[in-house]
């Protein structure tokens, strides 16, 4: 599996840490920036990952900004993206089990590096449980199809 990875300046340090972590578990991240701690606009980088996940070019992505809120809002504008802000293990697990999240968003200024690695590990290892949750996602997909005028 290849995972898209992007951040703004508020998530740069954590992105670099997670990039190494992903490689240590045999996942090659597609790093889409930013590539320094200089101030940037998160939409410019988050959209690169969200577009690829939306088009099916990447199975999953990880986005990081200061709080994770901005990247979450951005990513969920793309059809087929189910971005989940998970700054704790419980949210990471349920975002996969119940929501089949395909983009994980983390607050780089909120979550410590070791916890972030564990969040990513849980998110990667947790399968979608389907069942009643599949029905709910199908309802969301129907709304997307009806409203998306891309």
- How far is 53 from 80, CA to CA, in rounded Å? 8
CATH number at residue 68: 3.40.1400.10
- How far is 149 from 22, CA to CA, in rounded Å? 35
> pLDDT value at position 56?
97
- How far is 47 from 68, CA to CA, in rounded Å? 14
- How far is 13 from 15, CA to CA, in rounded Å? 5
> pLDDT value at position 137?
87
Number of domains in the chain: 1
65 labelled catalytic: yes
pLDDT, tens digit, for every residue of 60-102? 999 999 999 999 999 999 999 999 999 999 999 999 999 999 9
Helices (H), the chain: 12-24, 42-55, 69-75, 89-97, 113-125, 132-147
Residues of the chain with pLDDT under 70: 148-150
> pLDDT value at position 37?
94
Closest CA to 51 of 68, 34, 76: 76
Closest CA to 2 of 91, 100, 124, 126: 124
Q: Is 24 exposed, middle or buried (0-12, 13-18, 19+ CB in 10 A)?
A: exposed
Provide the residue range defining the domain that includes 86: 2-147
> pLDDT value at position 146?
82
- pTM, entire model: 0.94
């Amino acid at each position: 599996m290849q995972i898209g990875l992007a951040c703004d300046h508020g998530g740069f340090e954590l992105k670099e840490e997670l990039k190494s972590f992903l490689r240590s578990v045999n996942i090659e991240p597609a790093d889409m920036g930013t590539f320094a701690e200089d101030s940037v606009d998160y939409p410019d980088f988050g959209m690169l990952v969200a577009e690829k996940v939306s088009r099916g070019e990447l199975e999953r992505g990880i986005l990081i900004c200061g709080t994770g809120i901005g990247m979450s809002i951005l990513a969920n504008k793309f059809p087929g993206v189910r971005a989940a802000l998970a700054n704790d293990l419980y949210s990471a697990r349920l975002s996969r089990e119940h929501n089949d999240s395909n983009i994980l968003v983390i607050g780089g200024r909120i979550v410590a590096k070791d916890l972030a690695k564990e969040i990513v590990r849980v998110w990667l290892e947790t399968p979608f449980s389907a069942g009643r949750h599949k029905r709910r996602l199908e309802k969301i997909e129907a709304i997307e199809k009806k409203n998306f005028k891309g």
